[in-house]
Amino acid sequence: MKKLFFTLFILASGNLYAKPCNEVQVRIVFEGRPAVTKETLCSIKTPDNMLFYISKSCEDKKCEILKRKKSKFEIKDYTGNLGSPGFKICDELGGIPQIFEFSRGSDLWQSTERCLFNKNDFVEISLLTREWKSFIKKD
C-alpha cells in the first residue's frame, strides 16, 4: 500500500511541474537594441520525445502554419553557405525568422530560433524544419 501511495505521489508531483505553457520574458535584438516583452511560451513534445516551443495561439495546432496542408516547394540555394536552412524555410512559408532568448523569471536566458507569422503566432524553427524539410524540392 505504501509503495502504491508513493508511486501515485510521484506521478502527481511530476504533473505539477509539467506545465505546457508559461509566461516568460522574451528578449529580441531589434534595431540594435534588446527589446524585452512578456509572452506565453508553450512547449510541445512529439511522439519521439522531442521538445519544441510554440506560441499560445499555436497550442493544439490552432494557428494557420500548423494547420497548413504541406506541399512541395523550392528554395534556391537551400544548402548554400549563406543563411540558415531553417530561416530559409521560415521565409519561404511567409514568416519572419528571429533569434530570441527567453527566461522564466531568473537571470538564466535560453536562446532559440522562431518563425513569427503575425503578431502572435510563432513556431520554433527546428519544429518547422522537421515538419517541412521533406517537402523541399531538391536541385
Mean per-residue pLDDT for 92-109?
91
| Predicted confidence (pLDDT) at residue 5 exceeds the cutoff of 50 | no
Mean per-residue pLDDT for 110-131?
94
For residue 61, what are the CA distances in angstroms to 54, 55, 78, 121?
10, 10, 27, 11
* C-alpha radius of gyration, the chain, whole number: 18
Q: Which amino acid is at 20?
A: P
pLDDT of residue 111: 94
Mean per-residue pLDDT for 78-83?
78
| Predicted confidence (pLDDT) at residue 4 exceeds the cutoff of 90 | no
pLDDT band, very low/low/confident/very high, at 18 (cuts 50, 70, 90): very low
pLDDT of residue 82: 78
Contact 63, 121 (CB under 8 A): yes
Task: Tell me which residue of 97, 104, 101, 123 sits closest to 112, measured CA to CA.
Answer: 101
What average pLDDT is seen over the chain? 83
How far apart, in whole angstroms, are the C-alpha atoms of residue 10 and residue 7? 5
| Predicted confidence (pLDDT) at residue 117 exceeds the cutoff of 80 | yes
First to last CA, the chain: 63
| Predicted confidence (pLDDT) at residue 17 exceeds the cutoff of 50 | no
pLDDT band, very low/low/confident/very high, at 14 (cuts 50, 70, 90): very low
pTM: 0.78
Mean per-residue pLDDT for 117-136?
93
Each residue's pLDDT tens digit, 44-75: 998 999 999 999 999 998 999 999 999 999 88
Contact 88, 73 (CB under 8 A): no
Residues 6+ apart with CB under 8 A from 17: none
How far apart, in whole angstroms, are the C-alpha atoms of residue 65 and residue 56? 13
- Can you point out the beta strands (E) in the chain? 21-30, 33-45, 51-55, 96-103, 110-116, 122-124
